[in-house]
Structure 1
Amino acid sequence: MNLAPDDACDGLTDGRFRIGSRSEIASILRDLMAKHALVAASGGGDAQIVTTILSVEVDTGELVLDWGGTGRIADRLMAASRVLFETSLDQVRVRFASGPPAPTVFDGEAAFRVAIPEFVFRIQRRDSYRLKVPASLRATLVVEAFAQAGPASTSLVLHDISETGACVGASRTDPAAAAGARHERCRLLLPELPPISVGVEVIHVASRNDGAMRYGVRFLGIPERDAATIRRFIARVERDRRMRT
């Protein structure tokens, strides 16, 4: 990861990706620490090191990181008034800024500390990030005339979702569909949200050992307002998941 000056502010002003909840921020930072995620830290210019999070100290409002560098580069980073951090968590880009850094010692080793950031930005490609939908939510995709020989509609369990498509499951008693099939009159039923009318195209078909099927579907011409509703659903489920961990 390279935090060039022009790139360093990318995403740090986009409110769609900004998380400001102190508990959520602490949860994200703890996840990064638990997974030993490599974090790129930049104080500008060549003052760049790769580090890891050693401690998230909510009581004092500080984040402790591995020293991660020596000599002139580390000195320049310590002299910076603001440090930009970039890493990834579950294939989602994570960025935040804090400072100024201060040298410290953690478990007898050189480290540095900064204030826990006011905001964290989880920057994801909207067309690629997919949420695994907990079965307890009972989210479904109701497909009209899923197969010519089948009933008027079939309710399929939602296994994962992005704003451009989904993976749905069908039992062995449900009618089968072929890759390439299009279905214009479908309803996406997400908990606590109004139904979303959408067309789908079957992109991928897979059979499980128990006879159940998995279908990868692409949403057809989904309006921005409905895409925004899906984004809110994804954000809410992710937030609830982090709060439980």
Structure 2
Amino acid sequence: MSHPAPLADSDFEDRFLIVGQTPIRFMLAGYARDAVGFSVRLGTAETQFMTTLLGVDADKGRLYFDYSGSPEMNRLALSADHLVFAGRPEGIHVQFQTPAPVEARFDGGRAFSVPLPRQVLRLQRRESFRIDLPQARPVQLSASLPGGGTLSLPLHDLSVAGLGLTAGVLPETLLEDVVLARGRFLLPDEVQPTLVDLRIRHLTEQTARNGQRQWRIGCAFVDLPVAEEHRLQRYIVRIEHERRELLG
């Protein structure tokens, strides 16, 4: 499974990466003040636990966060290669990486402490980075239609907020605001399918380059599981990084 790679393109960084100790310190201190919940993944493993940011020490450049309720999970966290934090404060995807934690005290209680991250990925709800998927080897979505039957259409694009589909003919039951349940698609180089529920946001008729009429179907994810969101984000960042490298 792929993981986020360093990003070299300045426009991509300007739009989505928060850098600099001062803005990062204020951002994370605000999340701590609001008791925003974050998931913490231990290194490259799928093991994770939920935590709350407790506070920031500006002088030491340290972030404090709450212990897990599991002693075994706490032990694993201390020996992890690195940690990946992910949360959705006010519906905005926020993600950052730190070294393994050390044990600390915060307001008289036990806590974990890590150095402040060097950068924080922050995807605005209306600016979720979207990648076009290759049409030569299309990624196929399969989902249940309302009233029965199965929808099978190729993905046109993908973001952490949703995806776009392409169709030559629309099923009669495919309308705006309809929910497609039990959707699944397999991304290139992945061995496990991504499982999603989707809500239809728009249906737009277009003319393809060959003159044929087709439909673009915009879908938003419904209650996307955290594990699936992490996987999509890792894939999107990796593909965008590879594309930028090919462009020089």
TM superposition score normalised by structure 2: 0.48
Where relative contact order (Cα < 8 A, 6+ residues apart) is larger, the structure is 2
TM-score by length of 1: 0.49
Rg larger for: 1
